[in-house]
């Protein structure tokens, strides 16, 4: 009887050891961040008027995207043109001295939006919050089209990052 208990005990220990060994050897690998992960960086480093517009009825704006490389920037320009007449019609504004500036600001806002959308669609993630405020166009309680101008105090840099592929 003692001999039988000893054999059963040894057999149970052998089975337990086999299960334990199997669990350690064949467990799924844990996800680990590769020590070789590298990142690419880009920055939208401000807006400017890229060239004189086609005529007095157009305004233009551009932003520069700098793709940071080891030896400097690879620059890409994102341009936008806005027709003043269409802008006035869309926003229901009267033509005056101030509206040309508002149209120019709309072109600047569109160039930033276009550049941010382009980088986002290419997998870039924004890592710095810009201090950009767009103009707000609304109808006031008296029924008049009104503009609340955004903050335009400094040149804005917007940084982006993505994992190198």
> Taking the domains of the chain in order of start, what are their residue ranges?
39-163
pLDDT band (50, 70, 90) for residue 21? low
> What is the predicted pLDDT for the residue at 42?
94
Q: In the structure, what pLDDT confidence band is assigned to residue 157 with cuts at 50, 70 and 90?
A: confident
Check whether 6 has a pLDDT greater than 70. no
CA distance 58 to 84: 6
Over residues 139-157, the mean pLDDT reads 74
pLDDT for 155 equals 63
The whole-chain average pLDDT of the chain stands at: 80
Q: Please give the residue that has the higher pLDDT: either 143 or 63.
A: 63
Which of 156, 151, 162 has its CA nearest to residue 126?
Answer: 162
Task: Report pLDDT for 120.
Answer: 94
Query: Model pTM?
Result: 0.68
At 64 the pLDDT is 93
pLDDT at 17: 62
Torsion of CA 8, 14, 18, 24, to 10 degrees: 120
């Amino acid at each position: 009887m003692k001999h039988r208990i000893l054999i059963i005990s040894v057999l149970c220990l052998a089975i337990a050891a086999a299960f334990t060994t199997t669990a350690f050897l064949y467990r799924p690998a844990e996800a680990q961040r590769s020590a070789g992960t590298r990142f690419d960086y880009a920055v939208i480093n401000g807006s400017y008027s890229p060239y004189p517009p086609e005529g007095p009825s157009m305004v233009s704006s551009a932003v520069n995207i700098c793709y940071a490389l080891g030896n400097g920037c690879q620059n890409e320009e994102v341009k936008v043109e806005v027709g003043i007449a269409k802008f006035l019609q869309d926003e229901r504004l009267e033509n005056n001295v101030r509206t040309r500036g508002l149209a120019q600001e709309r072109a600047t806002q569109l160039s930033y939006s276009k550049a941010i959308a382009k980088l986002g669609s290419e997998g870039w993630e924004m890592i710095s919050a810009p201090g950009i405020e767009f103009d707000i166009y609304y109808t006031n309680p008296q029924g008049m089209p009104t503009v609340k101008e955004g903050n335009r105090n400094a040149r804005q840099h917007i940084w982006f990052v993505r994992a190198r592929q």
